[in-house]
Amino acid sequence: MGQLDGKRVLLGVTGGIAVYKAVELLRLLVKAGADVHVAMTPAATEFVQPLTFRELSYHPVAVDVFEEPREWKMQHIHLAECDLVVIAPATANTLAKLAVGIADNSVTTTVLATQAPIVVAPAMNSGMWENPITQENIARLRQRGYHVVGPDSGFLACRTSGAGRMSSPEDIFAAVVEVLTRQQDWQGLQLLVTAGPTREHVDPVRYIGNRSSGKMGYAIAAAAARRGADVTLVSGPTALTPPSGVRLVKVWTTQEMRDACVKVFPKVDACIKAAAPADFRVAEPSDQKVKKEAQAELVLRLVPNPDILAELGEMKQKQVLVGFAAESQDLIKNAQEKMRRKRCDLLVANDITMPGAGFDVDTNKVKLLYPNNQVEDVELMDKSRLADLLLDRVLLLIKAR
């Protein structure tokens, strides 16, 4: 039996030098038992003939959106009915189109029509990859739940070195298997996720806040919803698009976040507290805008906010409780102490001084701490992949209850 028996995969191939590696990816998918249909952009066919993909997939290759269909079904709708779409290579141009919903060829029309999970393997010159426009597009696709594999760094076709080389067919294949085999394993389970910062009023126009972007919590909520969980996302103010299929509760202050969590917590199987609630609030926020005249200095008195995680730790019955710890020194020692104090079953610790970890970046580098002092070192990865890894661990804990 192949790993992908019975799975229908659409391979979208767009125009870049890495098209030849998509042939190998197709071979791996077919060998694993998948029924693979291929759609190519006209530019992709300039690099490798559709014939190669047709022979290896045993299906006609979709290139021309207007061609006479072999079966009476509109081409893009027919192709969109699959278990997974993988686009390899995904050019900067295609990623930009996907980010805004342009549908002008057989690959982009199919992606716009599909309900299936989507894996993209970007491939381009490092200047194009590092361009803020491409980075914004990638961030937007990630927020929508796309799985992004790579790109790797190394020697590029343009004879320079840098980031932009498409990941190996083996790595892309592994990501496809991971996404397909995880599907719906959270079905029937309820999850509470918190995300983002909170804001504490100083006066009607000012607040005290922090640098949390909410990206980690949103990635967890999106991944859990994709895997079939019933998700409540309690979120402080963020600039992110809410993931589809989750119940969003918007809050502003730590007290509001606490109230929303305490209400939902008794019903859930697990709670992941990725938010960064403010530990203190202003004791006497002003009803009127504070004026700078008539005061040489402004002193704000702060009083402690409730510690939501600690309170949920007290309330805990059968729920699996996961905390985060952002530390800048003595990571393990501080995090272990936090885990015990807040009665967590798993603690995600990150050293916010490390490059690629912590606030407002798309990647994270964490250690997972368990109550028996076990520490799991997780490699640097993008937040959506980390979200899935965390959900794997939490699911094991739920099943072990």
Report, as residue numbers or ranges, the catalytic residues: 158
In the complex with ligand CTP, the residue whose CB is nearer, 205 or 283, is 283
Q: Quick check: 307 binds ligand CTP (CB under 6 A)?
A: yes
218 close to 195: Cβ distance less than 8 angstroms: yes
Q: Quick check: 326 binds ligand CTP (CB under 6 A)?
A: yes
Site for ligand CTP in 230-289 (CB under 6 A): 254, 273, 275-277, 279
Structure tokens that stand for 170 in this block: 């083996």
Q: Quick check: 350 binds ligand CTP (CB under 6 A)?
A: no
279 close to 302: Cβ distance less than 8 angstroms: no
Structure tokens that stand for 171 in this block: 């790595």
For residue 161, give every residue at least 6 positions away whose Cβ sits within 8 Å of its Cβ, in sequence order, or none: 126, 153, 154, 155
Q: Quick check: 325 binds ligand CTP (CB under 6 A)?
A: yes
Q: How far is the CB of 383 from ligand CTP (least distance, A)?
A: 15
DSSP 171-233: HHHHHHHHHHHHTTTTTT-EEEEEESB--EESSSS-EE-----SHHHHHHHHHHHHTT-EEEE
User: What CA–CA distance (Å, rounded) separates 378 from 359?
Assistant: 17
Q: How far is the CB of 274 from ligand CTP (least distance, A)?
A: 7
Cis peptide bond N-terminal to 89, omega within 30: yes
Listed ranges 12-20, 64-72, 287-295, 307-315: which one lies at the site for ligand CTP (CB under 6 A): 307-315
Structure tokens that stand for 63 in this block: 């290139």
In the complex with ligand CTP, the residue whose CB is nearer, 177 or 274, is 274
Number of residues that bind ligand CTP (CB under 6 A): 15
Q: How far is the CB of 210 from ligand CTP (least distance, A)?
A: 9
- Beta strand ranges found along 236-372 (DSSP E): 247-250, 270-273, 280-282, 302-304, 320-327, 346-351, 363-364, 366-369
128 close to 184: Cβ distance less than 8 angstroms: no
What is the signed CA dihedral for 215, 152, 147, 321, rounded to 10 degrees? -50
Q: Quick check: 323 binds ligand CTP (CB under 6 A)?
A: yes
User: What CA–CA distance (Å, rounded) separates 13 from 260?
Assistant: 45
Q: How far is the CB of 14 from ligand CTP (least distance, A)?
A: 40
Q: How far is the CB of 95 from ligand CTP (least distance, A)?
A: 33
Q: Quick check: 368 binds ligand CTP (CB under 6 A)?
A: no
In the complex with ligand CTP, the residue whose CB is nearer, 171 or 279, is 279
Q: How far is the CB of 115 from ligand CTP (least distance, A)?
A: 33
Listed ranges 11-19, 286-294, 306-314, 364-372: which one lies at the site for ligand CTP (CB under 6 A): 306-314
In the complex with ligand CTP, the residue whose CB is nearer, 23 or 300, is 300
Site for ligand CTP in 143-162 (CB under 6 A): none
Q: Quick check: 192 binds ligand CTP (CB under 6 A)?
A: no
In the complex with ligand CTP, the residue whose CB is nearer, 24 or 307, is 307
Sign of CA dihedral 59, 60, 62, 67: negative
In the complex with ligand CTP, the residue whose CB is nearer, 85 or 274, is 274
User: What CA–CA distance (Å, rounded) separates 214 from 242?
Assistant: 10
Residues that bind ligand CTP (CB under 6 A): 254, 273, 275-277, 279, 305, 307-309, 323-326, 338
